[in-house]
Amino acid sequence: MGRLRMIVLLAAATAGMAVTNAGPLQAAEKTPRVDVFLSFDTEDYLLPASDDAARRLAEMLTEKGIRATFRVVGEKARTLQRRGRTDVIAALRKHDIGYHTNLHSVHPTVSEYLADCGLLDGVAEFVRREKRGADDVRRVFGLKTLTCYCQPGASWASQAVVALDQIGVGPVCAEIGTHIGLQDKPFWAANVLNVYEMGEYYTDMALHDPAALEPAKAKVSQIVERLRGEGGGLISIGYHPCDWVHRQFWDATNFRHGANPPREQWKAPPQRPAEETERAFAQFAEYIDHIRSLGVQFVTAGELPAIYADRLRTEGVTEPELLQLARTLADDRATGVDFQIMNGRSVSPADQFELLTAAVGNLAEGGPTAFPLKAGGILGPDSPPGQDVQGGRTITWEAFRDAVVDVRDYLRAHNRVPPRVFIGADYVAPADFLGGLAAAWCHYAEHHSRPPEGVRLGKNRAVLTERHVAEKPVTPFTWSIHKPNLSLARILDVARLQAWTLKPAIRQ
Ligand SMILES: [Zn+2]
């Protein structure tokens, strides 16, 4: 009997019990774990039947022992309350509740109001517009926190990601899009776990096409097998409850291509006949039963931060590990700064900057460095360095020392990589300064605790993680709700600066 078949039979034998328990997995303990992140964008506040669809999905999954993640729009939560749908709220509350913006498609949408913002004004604007919706979802559902954020329309903006803790949303950003991604796997950016560009590891099934069921089942089986071959991993599957009941998306009915009718003129989308909805529920149940039979674990957004725990934050690095990080950075053949993996811990360029500023800063101020040294997670710079960068020079230890002390003060004040580092009247780009930090630390470690006489700064070092952000011209923003010709180049520029914080999320 093949191992997979054995798992299938074991899973079938335990049908009806929660698949998140360890039953089937204990029996096949050597099978790498495959997690399925099943999420529902719960957003249609116009067609009342979408309330029933959300409730029915939540109840169906609860009966199957599966917890999913429902990402709720602020206006949807208020609407449920206004319609007296405590039954829907109670059914959804048995699952994980995330946040899907205040108004979703009313203009300006998130991408529209962030399109011309930098980092800091963008964060402030996001908090101003979106905190009220998060407050309402929490209030209506009686929750202290929401587990994740999802930006409408296959969009992603680093300002939103940075702002999540300010609106009381947990450190997970989950959506499906293509303009930032790392190896088709979850990644950390700005201290938030992102399940975004998942490539082959995202899948779903067309609900209203009977011919879609078998190929969708085959596809998910294939992904599970592939992930088991890779030692385990995550599959992302996303739906909208309204899809079960409408003929057209609620927002396309009202807000297409920048259209913005006043609230009094919002129209409910046309509804499907009941038999089509019934068929879709039956087909979806069959699809989910198939996935469950594969012996996977269903995980929620709230569980993901522990599954991908960032051990650098809790364990830090040892002295030999810091030296290894510095040697990689100081290598003359290095063309830039990239993330590094250090014994199962992921270290972003910003983490490297933070760790080495702390260690060399202690050296500059004559104090010892206590190891393991932890990185709390600073952000990337709020702007590019400017044109007049003066890298590639060797400067005196005294000049470098004073700059390090100033950078350390900047980090304490702003918790971000500085956009430029002054050496007297001139400045260098932070990536070139990081080359100097690495060279200074290597010299100190290799010459028995003596600082160097001179420090060579890097020259035109790239932040290599920027390559994981889509290039211009921007094609991925194709959501039909956006106003025509919306330029999102600036959003990507700001995202590129936050690529300092990009690093793979490692399963623990
Ligand atoms: Zn949505």
The confidence score (pLDDT) of residue 388 equals 80
Residues contacting residue 442 through CB under 8 Å, at least 6 positions apart: 323, 326, 327, 330
What is the whole-number distance in angstroms between the Cα of residue 40 and the centre of ligand 1?
A: 9
322 and 244 within one domain: no
Same structural domain, 304 and 329: no
Could you tell me if 260 and 322 lie in one domain?
no
113 Cα–ligand 1 center, Å: 17
The Cα–Cα gap between 385 and 420 comes to 5
Count CB-CB contacts under 10 A for residue 11: 21
Query: Rounded to the nearest whole angstrom, what is the distance from the C-alpha of residue 41 to the centroid of ligand 1?
Result: 5
Domain count across the chain: 2
Burial per residue of 182-220, b for 16 or more beta-carbon CB atoms within 10 angstroms, e otherwise? beebbbbbbbbbbbbbbeebbbbbebeeeebbeebbeeb
Per-residue pLDDT of the chain (508 residues; tens, 9 = 90+): 333 333 333 333 333 333 344 444 444 457 999 999 999 999 999 999 999 999 999 999 999 999 999 999 999 999 999 999 999 999 999 999 999 999 999 999 999 999 999 999 999 999 999 999 999 999 999 999 999 999 998 889 999 999 999 999 999 999 888 888 999 999 999 999 999 999 999 999 999 999 999 999 999 999 999 999 999 999 999 999 999 999 999 999 999 999 999 999 999 999 999 999 999 999 999 999 999 999 999 999 999 999 999 999 999 999 999 999 999 999 878 789 999 999 999 999 999 999 999 999 999 998 899 999 999 999 999 999 988 888 889 999 999 999 999 999 999 999 999 999 999 999 999 999 999 999 999 999 988 667 788 999 999 999 999 999 988 655 546 789 999 888 888 999 999 999 999 999 999 9
3-state secondary structure of 429: coil
197 Cα: distance to centroid of ligand 1 (angstroms): 16
Structure tokens at 206: 């067309």
Q: What Cα–Cα distance (Å) separates residue 331 from each residue in 26, 391, 461?
A: 46, 16, 12
Distance from Cα 239 to the centre of ligand 1, integer Å: 9
What does the alpha-carbon distance between residue 187 and residue 499 come to, in Å, rounded to a whole number?
11
Task: Indicate if 323 and 303 belong to the same structural domain.
Answer: no
Say whether both 408 and 272 belong to one domain: no
- Both structure tokens of 465: 């993680």
Residue 294 shares a structural domain with residue 342: no
Residues 385 and 416 in one domain: yes
| Residue 21 counted as domain residue | no
Task: Look at residue 410 and tell me if it is in a domain.
Answer: yes
pTM of the entire predicted model: 0.92
The 3-state DSSP class for residue 248 equals: coil
- Asked if 322 and 259 sit in the same domain, the reply is no
Q: Count the alpha carbons within 13 Å of 341 in the hemisphere toward its beta carbon.
A: 8
Q: CB count, 10 Å around CB of 366? A: 8
Q: In DSSP terms, which residues pair with 41 in a beta bridge? A: 71
Q: Is the dihedral of CA 447, 449, 454, 457 positive or negative?
A: positive
Expressed in angstroms and rounded, the spacing between residue 69 Cα and the centre of ligand 1 is: 13
Residue 342 belongs to what domain range? 315-463
Residue 418: cis peptide before it, omega within 30 degrees of 0 = no
Q: What are 53's two structure tokens?
A: 């669809």
Q: What pLDDT does 175 receive?
A: 86
Helix (H) or strand (E) holding 421: strand 421-423
